[in-house]
Chains A and B, each alone.
Chain A
Amino acid sequence: MAFTTQSFNSGAVLTASMMNVLHANFTAVASRTTGAPKVIQTNHAWVRFSTTGAIKSSEGVSSVSRSQTGEYTISWTIPFSGFYAVTWGDQTQLPVTDPSIRNWRAFPTNSGNVLVTYSAANNSSTAKEDQRGTISAWQV
């Protein structure tokens, strides 16, 4: 449902159609349709995916593709404009005694997608690992 910008003029008839459009604009803003005012400082897209890149659940994400070990590209359904914040989490199945430190890292973002890599390191080795991840993107 598109967002409709309306102007109201003194003396003109206020029609049922205009009021219905006004009412419909709530849905247009909430669903971030094209032309709707951009709701800033909110999460615009998030995804939870498996080690293979299969999407488990998401909003605002069109695909996740795994290109090599630990490396995934998350594509947004609606491209971002300007800078946006990318944050993340992981879901390892390792015991609490595991000695390695692990984290995602994002490569410089572009409007349509972000490339992330999952790395692990301990005092004897380093590695890229496939991982179950959650990635969220916020419009600043």
Chain B
Amino acid sequence: MAWHNIAFTFGSTLTASKIGGLQDNFTALAENATGSPTFSSRSTKIVVFSGNGHIHSGAGISSITHGATGQYVLNVSTVFSRGTQAFSGPVAPGTFYRSVPSFVLIGFEANVAYSDPSVRVLAGANATTTSTATYQMNFQAVNNSAKAHEDVYRGSVVIVEHTD
């Protein structure tokens, strides 16, 4: 449902259309319709995806590229802002560009038994990048004898950006 931009002017007739638009705006605001006011702390990019990169549900993520096992690239609908980051030292001196989502919350579902001993982590990767259109991730499992990349059963990513 589209957001209605309504103006009320002194002396003009208050119409059913205007009041109806006001009622419709509850849904438009809830559903983040184009033109609706920015909802503070609302996630600008959010996705729940499966191990092959299929998007179960999401907003602000146009697609997910599944590379090697456990590796995912989230392609965003609207690019991140970009900041500069200067490095010094012998390893990587110079200036790099870094995509800067304000904060990222990450979770995952693992369809394994309680007894499974591994600790698993779904994490952002390769943060220093010139690309502002992607967010790279990997999923790994670690235990006392081995570590490996795995395809996640289901991943969850919530990105909140400073939109002022």
Contact = CB atoms under 8 A, between A and B. Distances in A.
Contact of A86 (B19, B58, B109): B109
Contact of A126 (B14, B32, B44, B117): B117
Nearest to B1: A37
Interface stretch (B23-31, B63-71, B78-86, B125-133): B23-31
Contact of B105 (A10, A11, A136): A136
- What range describes how many residues of A lie at the interface? 35 or more
Contacts of B14: 14
Interface in A55-107: 68, 71, 82-88, 101-107
A108 B119 contact: no
B32 A109 contact: no
B120 interface: yes
B12 to A, nearest CB: 14
Interface residues of B, number: 48
A138 B155 CA distance: 13
Interface stretch (B2-10, B35-43, B87-95): B35-43
Given A41-B44, A42-B41, A103-B121, 13 more contacts: A7-B23, A8-B23, A14-B14, A37-B31, A41-B32, A85-B107, A86-B109, A101-B142, A107-B110, A107-B111, A119-B118, A125-B144, A140-B46
